[in-house]
Amino acid sequence: MATTELAPAHAGAAHDHEHAEHPELGFWRKYVFSTDHKVIGIQYAVTGLLFLLFGFCLVMLMRWQLAFPGRALPLIGKLFGEARMPGGSMLPEFYNELGAMHGTIMVFLGVVPLAVGGFGNFVLPLQIGAPDMAFPKINMASYWSYFLGGITMLGSFFVPGGAAQSGWTSYAPLSVIAGEGQTIWLIGMIFLITSSLLGSINFIVTTVQLRAKGLSYFRLPFFCWAQLVTSFLLLLAFPPLEAAGILQLMDRLAGSSFFMPSGLVVSGQALAYTGGGNPILWQHLFWFLAHPEVYVLILPAFGIVAEVVANNTRKPLFGYKIMVYSLWFLGFMSFVVWAHHMFFTGMGTTMATFFQTTTMIISIPSVALLTSLLISLWGGSIRFTTPMLFALAFLPMFGIGGLTGLPLGLSAADIPLHDTYYVIGHFHYVVAPGTLFALFAGIYYWYPKATGRMMSEKLGKVHFWPSLIFINGIFMPMFIQGLAGVSRRLYDGGASYDFAKEVTHWNVFMSMSAWGLALAQIPFIINFFWSIKHGKKVGDNPWQATTLEWVAPSPPPHGNFLTPPEVYRGPYEYSVPGHPTDYTPQFQLEQKAS
Amino acid sequence: MEIPYTVAERPDTGLNNGKIGIWLFLASEVMLFGALFATYLMMRTGAVTWPRGDSILNVPLATLNTVVLISSSVTMVMAWASLKRNNFAKFRLFQGLTVLAGFGFLTIKYIEYSHKFELGLFPSTNTFLAIYFTLTGLHGLHVIGGMAINAYLWGPGSKLWKTDPEHFTNRVENSGLFWHFVDLVWIFLFPVLYLL
C-alpha cells in the first residue's frame, strides 16, 4: 500500500505569519511603492480593471451615437461641453477621439496590464515557488512607468484639440498631421513600452532562475509557460513599435518625412514636408508589434483557462506537452504573419501568398490549444464553479473569434470584409468574451489566494450569465452587418447608406446589449469589494489544487513561503488511482511502504 | 527568503540573474535598432536619389569617433579585469577613462551636429538626414545612458566593492556588456551612414 506523507516543505502547515527577517514597512513602502510582486500584481490588476471600465465607458458613448445618430444624449450629454457635444449631440471629431482612445486603453492599459502585469506578477512567482521576482525594484519601476503612461494618455483628453483621433493604430500620414493629442499619445506609448520591457525581462529571468528545487521545465504549470512565451513576445515585438514611435515623433516635431510621401495635398493645400517617405512603413512597424500583441492578449488567457479547467475537471490536462510546444510554435510564428493586416495596401500577390500561408499555419497551434482544452473536459467530473463557468464560456467564444478570423487571413476574402464590422466582431470575440472572460475566471480563481476569502458564488453566477448573453448581443450582429458590407469607420453606424438599411436596426440592439453588459458588471464590482471583508474565509487550498501557489499561506506573507518549497511531480496530478484524495499536490512527497 | 542567484550562479543554468537580464535587454535593443536599420533600407530603396554619406557627412571626424569608442570598450574590459584581479585602484583608473572617452565621443558628435545645423541641414531637409539624425541621436542617448551607469559605478556605486566585491564585479561586467553593445551599434552605423 502506498502511504502518503507530507513533504517537509508542507510540514509547517500551522501558519506563522510573523517573519523576523522582514521588518514591518511603512504604509507607503508596503502598499504604494512596494517591491513585493504580490502588491505590484494587485496594483496592476486594479489599475487595469479601472482602465477597462473607463475604456468601456468610452465605447458606450460611441454606441449611443451609433444607435441614435445625431440625437442629443440625455442627462450627461451636456457635460462634455460645446466643443465635443454641442447641445448634447456628438461631433465626429469626438467620435474619432473616443474610438482611438477606446482601442488604446483597452489593449495597452486594460487587458495587457491585467493579464500580464496583474496575473503574471501575482501568480507566476508563487507557482514556481520563488520568494519574489528576480528584480523587485525593476518590477516596481515597471508598474510606475505603466501608471505614468496611463496618466499621460488620460491627460491627452485635456490638451487643445483633444486626445489622439487617428485610431489605436495611428496610421500615417493622418496621424502625422493630426493635432497635439497624437504627440501625447506617442509619449504615453513610450512609457508603456518601457513598462512592458522591464516587466518581460523580469518574468523571463524569474522563470529561468527562480524555479523551486525539483521544478523542471516540464513540471511547470501551463500558466507559467504562457507567461514565459508572452514575455518573449513583449520583449522582442515592442521595440520596433518604439522605433516607429520615435520616427513618428521626428515627423511631427522635427519635420522629417519618414512616413510622408512626396506631393501630399490636404484640403487643397500642399504640405510643408519634403516628402520621400513611406506611409506603409508605419503599418509594417506597427503590425510587427501588434500581431504578436494579439498573442500577448490571448496566451495569458489560455494559461488561466488551462489552470481552471484542470482544477475543475479533476483530471490532468489533455496533451500538456503538445500544448507547450504549440505555445512556442505560436509565439515564433506570430512574428511572421503581421502583413495579413495589410492586404488592403495593395501588396503584390507574392507577398500576400507568403503571409496567407503563414497565417494558415499559425491557426494550427491555436486549434491544438483549444482542442486540448476541450478534450480535457471529456470524462471529467466537472465542478461548475464561477471560475469554471467563465473558463468554459471562453472555449466557444474564442472558437468563434478564431474561426471567423480564417477568412480574414486570406487576401481574396479579406478585401471585401476588411473595412467592415465583420473585423470588429472577429477580434472582439477573441479579446472580449475570449480574453476578458478568462481574466474574470482568473480573478474568481485566485481571489482566495490574494485575500484569504472566497468571492460570492451566487453573485458570481449573477455576473456570469447576463454577461455571456449581453456580450454575444453586442458582437454577433456585427458579423451580420459586416457581411452586409457596413463600413466600420462610419460615425452614423451606416444610416446614410441605402444598402445598409436592411441591417442598421441592429445598431439599437447592439447598443442596448452594451449598456446591459455594463449593468451586468455591477454584481462583480460589489462582489469584488464586499468579499474583501465579508467573503467566506477559506484555508490555503480552497480549490484542492495541485500547483505550488496553494502551499503558500493565503494571503502569502512577504517572501511568500514559510519554508522553501520542493517539487516532486508534474503540475496536474488529479485523480491519481490509488491516491486517497483526488488531487496530489506538486509539493507532496509520496513514499511507498517497503 | 532572500532572492536566490543575485550573485552566485544557478548550477543548472550556469548564470546569475543579472547576466540573463542584461542579455535579454540587449536582445530588445537589437530589435529597436533593427527596426531603425530596416527603416534606413526602406527609405534608401524607395528614394529616387540617395546621397553618398561622405558627400554630406564628415568622415575623418567619424573615424576619430570610432577610434575613441573602440578604445573605451578596451578600457571597459580592463576595468572589469582589474576588479577580477582585486586591483581596485586600477579599476578606478580604467573606469574613469571609459567615462572620459564617452565624453570625448559626445563632444566630437556635438561638433558634427552643430556644423550640420550651421549649413542648414536638418532632419526635415531630406530622408537621408532624417535617418542620420534619428539613428545617431538615439545612439547618442545610449552613450549618455551608458556613461551615467559607468560614472555611477566609478563613484558612489563603488561602495559595494567593500561589502560584496563579487556582486560589484558582476555589475561592472553587465554595464560593460551594455557599453560594448553601444560600441557595436556605432560599428554598424559608421559604414552604413558615412561610407555607403
Contact A494, A486 (CB under 8 A): yes
Pairing type for strands A265-266 and A269-270 reads: antiparallel
Percentage of residues of chain B with pLDDT beyond 70: 99
Residue pLDDT, tens place only, A407-430: 999 999 999 999 999 999 999 999
> Residues with Cβ < 8 Å from A79, sequence gap 6 or more?
none
| Grid cell at residue B153 | 559605478
Q: Identify the weakest region by mean pLDDT among A187-201, A333-347, B61-75.
A: A333-347
Which residues of chain A lie closer than 8 angstroms to B2, CB-CB? 131
What's the pLDDT at B35? Answer: 97
What average pLDDT does range B56-62 have in this prediction? 95
Q: Identify the weakest region by mean pLDDT among A495-504, B89-98, B171-180.
A: A495-504
Of B20, B33, B138, the CB nearest to A209: B20
What average pLDDT does range A151-176 have in this prediction? 94
What average pLDDT does range B130-153 have in this prediction? 97
What average pLDDT does range A279-293 have in this prediction? 94
What's the pLDDT at A17? Answer: 42
Which residues of chain A lie closer than 8 angstroms to B27, CB-CB? 235-236
- How many alpha carbons lie under 13 Å from residue A385 in its C-beta half-sphere? 24
For residue A135, the distance in angstroms to the closest alpha carbon of chain B comes to 8
What's the pLDDT at A375? Answer: 96
Q: A586 or A9: which carries more pLDDT confidence?
A: A586
| Grid cell at residue B22 | 542584461
Residue A92 to residues A35, A99, A157, A272, A406: CA-CA distances in angstroms? 44, 10, 15, 26, 32
B50 interface with A at CB cutoff 8 Å: no
Residue pLDDT, tens place only, A200-243: 999 999 999 999 999 999 999 999 999 999 999 999 999 999 99
**Mutation site for B-interface testing, chosen from A126, A256, A273, A335 by largest number of B Cβ within 10 Å:** A256
Check pLDDT > 80 for residue A19. no
For residue A443, the distance in angstroms to the closest alpha carbon of chain B comes to 27
The answer to whether B35 contacts A273, with C-beta atoms less than 8 Å apart, is: no
Q: What are phi and psi of A372, to 5 degrees?
A: -60, -45
Angle, CA A117 vertex, CA A116 and CA A122 arms, to 5°:
95
For chain B, give the mean pLDDT. 96
Check pLDDT > 90 for residue A540. yes
Contact A482, A417 (CB under 8 A): yes
Q: Is A17 exposed, middle or buried (0-12, 13-18, 19+ CB in 10 A)?
A: exposed
What's the pLDDT at A23? Answer: 60
What is the enclosing helix (H) or strand (E) of A265? strand A265-266
What's the pLDDT at A593? Answer: 43
| Grid cell at residue A579 | 491516491
What is the enclosing helix (H) or strand (E) of A592? strand A589-592
**pTM of this prediction exceeds 0.90:** yes
Which residues of chain A lie closer than 8 angstroms to B40, CB-CB? none
The answer to whether B21 contacts A135, with C-beta atoms less than 8 Å apart, is: yes
Contact A414, A344 (CB under 8 A): yes
The answer to whether A205 contacts B122, with C-beta atoms less than 8 Å apart, is: no
Scan residues 52-111 of B and list those with Cβ closer than 8 Å to A.
none
Cβ-based contacts under 8 A for chains A and B: 130
What's the pLDDT at A22? Answer: 55
Nearest residue of chain B to residue A251 (CA atoms): B124
Check pLDDT > 50 for residue B133. yes
Q: Identify the weakest region by mean pLDDT among A123-127, A205-209, B2-6.
A: B2-6
What's the pLDDT at A378? Answer: 95
The answer to whether A274 contacts B126, with C-beta atoms less than 8 Å apart, is: yes
For residue A23, the distance in angstroms to the closest alpha carbon of chain B comes to 13
Residue pLDDT, tens place only, A321-366: 999 999 999 999 999 999 999 998 888 889 999 999 999 999 999 9
Residue pLDDT, tens place only, A358-389: 999 999 999 999 999 999 999 999 999 999 99
For chain A, give the mean pLDDT. 92
Contact A250, B134 (CB under 8 A): yes
Residue A131 to residues A6, A38, A81, A122, A561: CA-CA distances in angstroms? 21, 10, 51, 11, 7
| Grid cell at residue B32 | 529597436
The answer to whether B134 contacts A247, with C-beta atoms less than 8 Å apart, is: yes
Written as one string, the DSSP assignment of A473-513 is HHHHHHHHHHHTT-BTT-TTTTTT-GGGTTTTTHHHHHHHH
Nearest residue of chain A to residue B19 (CA atoms): A205
What's the pLDDT at B2? Answer: 85
Which residues of chain B lie closer than 8 angstroms to A200, CB-CB? 24
For residue B45, the distance in angstroms to the closest alpha carbon of chain A comes to 11
B10 interface with A at CB cutoff 8 Å: yes
Q: What is the CA radius of gyration of chain B?
A: 19
Which residues of chain B lie closer than 8 angstroms to A132, CB-CB? 3
**Mutation site for B-interface testing, chosen from A205, A229, A274 by largest number of B Cβ within 10 Å:** A205
Pairing type for strands A265-266 and A2-5 reads: unpaired
The answer to whether A278 contacts B46, with C-beta atoms less than 8 Å apart, is: yes
Q: Which among B32, B37, B54 is positioned nearest to B189, based on CA atoms?
A: B37
Check pLDDT > 60 for residue A4. no
